[in-house]
A = this chain, B = another copy of it.
Amino acid sequence: MSKIRVIIADDHGVVRAGLRGLLAAAGLDVVGEAGTGAEAVSLARSLHPDVVLLDVRMPEMDGLQALTAIKSELPEISVVMLTVYASTEYLSRAIAAGAAGYLLKDAEPDEIVRVVRAAAEGSRVIDASLLQSVLEHTPVAEADALQQADLTQQELRVLKLIALGLTNDAIAETLVVSRNTVKTHVRHIFEKLGVSDRTQAAIWAVRNGLVE
């Protein structure tokens, strides 16, 4: 079994060095480094790594743009986003654009390695602490419809992940439960909201300020 090949893209040399050491120590193969989004894309093209670690904020094409470029040209490469902010907005966009993972820079080294490994295997994993903030923090405003919906805690989490654009399988992985369990929650959510599919549920969630 060959090593997982990774490209690191961040505009700060210090961060790159830190990540490189961290990943190398875990037995991963850092095959390239980029300081801009554009560089990251061309490196991905020439080196075909298993995973690209992209900082959200970079000169000459930011992380999201680079992500989009890579996924459209090289969809088989897994891209993990790195950020300092726990922004639902960005998270949602990154997921929609096909990111395999989303990491906070202050995440535990083990957590970073875990997410990169999972990404290489084709899984989608969101950093636990980031996920926490997204799932547990509900904007207080406009909570009336939410109250009326009378969702349970777990159903609420599932709904938020639906509203982020995750599939049932991705939700199952994220919440560490089985796919069947997720499907059960999803059905209950539909009943309670009075909708008939996940798209309508997502729209409901966005309109009622459940996310963002």
A sample of 23 inter-chain contacts (CB < 8 A) reads A72-B194, A89-B207, A92-B203, A92-B207, A95-B200, A96-B193, A96-B194, A96-B200, A96-B203, A96-B204, A97-B194, A97-B195, A98-B196, A162-B199, A164-B203, A165-B197, A165-B200, A198-B199, A199-B202, A202-B202, A202-B203, A206-B207, A207-B212
A179: min CB distance to chain B, Å: 16
B198 & A71 in contact (Cβ 8 Å cutoff): no
Stoichiometry (number of copies): 2
The main secondary structure of chain A at its interface with chain B is: helix
- Could you tell me if B165 and A195 are in contact, using CB atoms closer than 8 angstroms? yes
Say yes or no: is A68 at the interface (Cβ < 8 Å to chain B): yes
Contact A96 B195 (CB under 8 A): yes
CA distance A197 to B97 in the complex (A): 11
Which residues on B sit within 8 Å (CB–CB) of A196? 96, 98
Is A167 in the interface zone, CB < 8 Å from B?
yes
- Does A120 reach chain B (CB closer than 8 Å)? no
Given contacts A68-B194, A194-B68, A194-B71, contact A203 B163 (CB under 8 A): yes
Partner of A199, one of B68, B71, B165, B193: B165
Please name the residue on chain B nearest to A95 by beta carbon. Answer: B200
Residues from 46 to 103 in A contacting B, C-beta threshold 8 Å: 68, 71-72, 89, 92, 95-98
A183-211: which residues lie under 8 A (CB-CB) from chain B? 193-200, 202-204, 206-207
Min distance, Cβ A76 to any Cβ of chain B, angstroms = 14
Residue of A164, A193, A196, A199 with highest tally of chain B CB at under 10 A: A199
